[in-house]
């Protein structure tokens, strides 16, 4: 496994920090004039998506992490694993655990392509595309006359996600949702 | 992106030309002599945290300090220099391993007098963007008290290490001064007031480098050393210069411990001959330009940054 010295740190680098696979987001080189040099690194943990900061001494090195992102289409679940198929023509299938799926389970829909992140060939996380189209399973009927006020109400989608929608939305409608904010964008 | 292209726009090079002209006019009007000293020396500058670059049997200077002091010892009077200096591995948004320094010395001056001159010159150089630039003076202890709630002269090593570890989110296995560097760079510098020239002086005696030591009003031994910060960034470092050859040799031996680097025998010989009482300061000119042009990255003020050099 390759090692990266602090002077090779750069955004996008995939490394192991305390045995946690991480991606570097930002690096700041700091050095008080006559003092020691440090690299302040912003990292994202692959497993938890948590963003955190850590300082390294100049000359410290980190082991590279074998992290790979793949475009994969969601197929089905057997309630233990959620299966995805590679869209690169290999038709390779991989199962993601509930833990690896994380919050993305709220935006999971068959035939949609997700980014599946592998660490040492095992699925550690799944990221949804920025926008998905999902159907409303359940919502209160809209109150007439309130539409001009721009009021909202909760709606439960087929995936179980609950989003705020305009009052005119009815059950069975397809909606476009921003998965980053979890917000309703428009009717699909 | 084509890497043959310059990293700075032409306007930044024009600003650099103006900056140098203003500096030369300023020192010309005050009869300070512009000098050039060798970039390649037989011995590097001894500084535990600055790594020199070796070129063949010689060393690229990390600052022109030693040669300029030899000129002072030879009785050449007030001098200044604008030159490139070289420091291994210092690359980032605010650092380039090859950068431009203005260094000057005033014979018979105290570092306090020199601080006033630094303020005057910086106010002049930055006037195009900052018409009113107030000065703020803090001691190192006051800065740590105010922005990190630490009583630096009385705080235990453990307390300092603990704070440093919290800020670094790691145990970097540093000594007291190393952890103080973490606290200074992670907590104090970013919190310093903006749009003012912030002078910090009375550094811990252990961080004296080439400054004289003295007792302050509270009877604490401190280094007569100052740094200038502007909008959270260090711009300059100055000293009441150490004139004692014996003490200088001791600091050399301490700083070069465990390295293969030779100490500068010329400087020791010159100090034995006698360095007049003087104050000196080094100012990073690329960072002055950075502020003048409101640039975010040092590359924007360099014709070709480290990646394109």
Domain that holds residue A135: 131-187
For chain A, how many structural domains are there in total?
3
Statement: residue A130 has pLDDT above 70 = yes
Residues in chain A with CB shorter than 8 Å from the CB of B90 are 29, 31, 37
Are A114 and A82 in a shared domain? yes
Q: Does A31 touch chain B (CB under 8 A)?
A: yes
A83-99: pLDDT as tens digits:
999 999 999 999 999 99
Are A9 and A51 in a shared domain? yes
Are A138 and A157 in a shared domain? yes
Query: What average pLDDT score do residues A105-121 get?
Result: 94
Nearest CA in chain A to B225: A34
B77-127: pLDDT as tens digits:
999 999 999 999 899 999 999 999 999 999 999 999 999 999 999 999 999
Cβ pair A36:B89 closer than 8 A: no
Please report, for the domain that includes residue A59, its CATH number. 2.30.30.30
State residue B263's pLDDT score.
86
Q: What's the gap in Å between the CA of B141 and the closest CA on chain A?
A: 16
Please report, for the domain that includes residue A141, its CATH number. 2.40.50.140
Q: Most A CBs within 10 Å: which of B90, B101, B182, B228, as the mutation test of the A interface?
A: B182
Nearest CB to B91 within list A29, A30, A57: A29
Nearest CB to B89 within list A7, A27, A56: A7
- ipTM for the whole complex: 0.89
Spatial contact of A24 and A4, defined as CB atoms under 8 Å apart:
no
Residues in chain B with CB shorter than 8 Å from the CB of A52 are 169
Mean pLDDT of chain A: 91
Q: Which of A40, A64, A88 is the last residue of a domain?
A: A64
Residues in chain B with CB shorter than 8 Å from the CB of A56 are 170, 172
State residue A33's pLDDT score.
79
CB under 8 Å to B151, separation ≥6 — which residues? B141, B144, B145
Statement: residue B241 has pLDDT above 90 = yes
In this structure, of A1-10, B67-76, B184-193, the range with the lowest mean pLDDT score is A1-10
CB under 8 Å to A81, separation ≥6 — which residues? A95, A96, A97
A57-83: pLDDT as tens digits:
998 999 999 999 999 999 999 999 999
Every domain of chain B and the residues it spans: 10-132+262-301
B252-295: pLDDT as tens digits:
888 888 888 888 899 999 999 999 999 999 999 999 999 999 99
Q: Most B CBs within 10 Å: which of A10, A37, A54, A60, as the mutation test of the B interface?
A: A37
Are A118 and A138 in a shared domain? no
Per CATH, the number for B10-132+262-301 is 3.30.930.10
Are A112 and A138 in a shared domain? no
State residue B239's pLDDT score.
97
Sign of dihedral through CA atoms B160, B161, B165, B166?
negative
A158-180: pLDDT as tens digits:
999 999 999 999 999 999 999 99
Q: Which of A13, A45, A64 is the last residue of a domain?
A: A64
Statement: residue A1 has pLDDT above 80 = no
State residue A34's pLDDT score.
87
Alpha helices in chain A (DSSP H): 98-101
Query: What average pLDDT score do residues B168-180 get?
Result: 96
Q: What's the gap in Å between the CA of B100 and the closest CA on chain A?
A: 14
Are A52 and A13 in a shared domain? yes
Are A167 and A119 in a shared domain? no
CA dist B12 → B3, B109, B123 (Å): 18, 34, 19
Report the half-sphere exposure of A116 (CA within 13 A, side-chain side).
Answer: 27
Are A117 and A136 in a shared domain? no
Cβ pair B167:A55 closer than 8 A: yes
Strands (E), chain A: 3-5, 14-17, 20-30, 38-45, 51-57, 61-64, 67-77, 82-86, 93-96, 113-119, 122-127, 131-139, 152-157, 162-166, 174-178, 183-187
A33-55: pLDDT as tens digits:
789 999 999 999 998 889 999 99
* Rg of chain B over all Cα atoms, to the nearest angstrom: 19
Statement: residue A147 has pLDDT above 60 = no
State residue A146's pLDDT score.
53
Sign of dihedral through CA atoms B256, B260, B263, B265?
positive
């Amino acid at each position: 496994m390759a090692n990266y010295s602090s002077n090779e740190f750069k955004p996008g680098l995939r490394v192991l920090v305390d045995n946690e696979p991480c991606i570097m987001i930002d690096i700041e080189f700091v050095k008080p004039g006559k003092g020691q040099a440090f690299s302040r690194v912003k990292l994202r943990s692959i497993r938890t998506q948590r963003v955190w900061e850590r300082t390294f001494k100049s000359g410290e090195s980190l082991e590279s992490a074998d992290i790979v992102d793949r475009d994969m289409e969601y197929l089905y679940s057997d309630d233990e694993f959620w299966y995805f198929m590679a869209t690169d023509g290999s038709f390779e299938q991989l199962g993601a655990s509930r833990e690896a799926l994380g919050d993305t389970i709220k935006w999971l829909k068959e035939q949609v392509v997700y980014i599946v992140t592998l660490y040492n060939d095992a699925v550690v996380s799944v990221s949804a595309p920025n926008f998905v189209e999902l159907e409303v399973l359940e919502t209160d009927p809209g109150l007439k006359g309130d539409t001009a006020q721009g009021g909202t109400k909760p709606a439960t989608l087929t995936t179980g996600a609950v989003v705020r929608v305009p009052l005119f939305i009815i059950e069975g409608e397809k909606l476009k949702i921003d998965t980053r904010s979890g917000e309703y964008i428009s009717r699909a | 992106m084509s890497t043959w292209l310059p990293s700075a726009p032409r306007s930044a090079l024009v600003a650099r030309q103006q900056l140098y002209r203003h500096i030369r006019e300023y020192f010309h009007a005050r009869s300070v002599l512009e000098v050039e000293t060798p970039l390649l020396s037989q011995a590097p500058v001894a500084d535990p945290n600055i790594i020199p670059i070796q070129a063949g049997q010689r060393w690229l200077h990390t600052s022109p300090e030693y040669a300029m002091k030899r000129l002072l010892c030879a009785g050449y009077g007030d001098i200044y220099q604008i030159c490139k200096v070289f420091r291994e591995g210092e690359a980032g948004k605010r650092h380039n391993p090859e950068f431009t320094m203005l260094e000057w010395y005033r014979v018979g001056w105290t570092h306090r007098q020199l601080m006033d001159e630094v303020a005057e010159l910086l106010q002049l150089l930055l006037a195009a963007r900052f018409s009113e630039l107030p000065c703020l003076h803090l001691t190192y202890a006051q800065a740590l008290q105010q922005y990190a709630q630490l009583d630096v002269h009385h705080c235990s090593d453990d307390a300092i290490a603990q704070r440093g570890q919290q800020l670094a989110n790691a145990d970097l296995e540093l000594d007291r001064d190393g952890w103080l560097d973490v606290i200074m760079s992670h907590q104090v510098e970013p919190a310093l007031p903006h749009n003012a020239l912030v002078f910090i002086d009375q550094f811990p005696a252990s961080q004296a480098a080439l400054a004289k030591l003295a007792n302050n009003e509270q009877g604490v031994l401190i280094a007569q050393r100052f740094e200038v910060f502007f909008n959270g960034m260090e711009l300059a470092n100055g000293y009441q210069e150490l004139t004692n050859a014996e003490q200088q040799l001791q600091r050399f031996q301490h700083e070069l411990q465990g390295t293969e680097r030779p100490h500068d025998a010329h400087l020791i010989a010159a100090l034995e001959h006698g360095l007049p009482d003087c104050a000196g300061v080094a100012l990073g000119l690329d960072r002055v330009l950075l502020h003048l042009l409101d640039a975010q990255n040092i590359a924007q003020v360099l014709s070709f940054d480290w990646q394109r050099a």
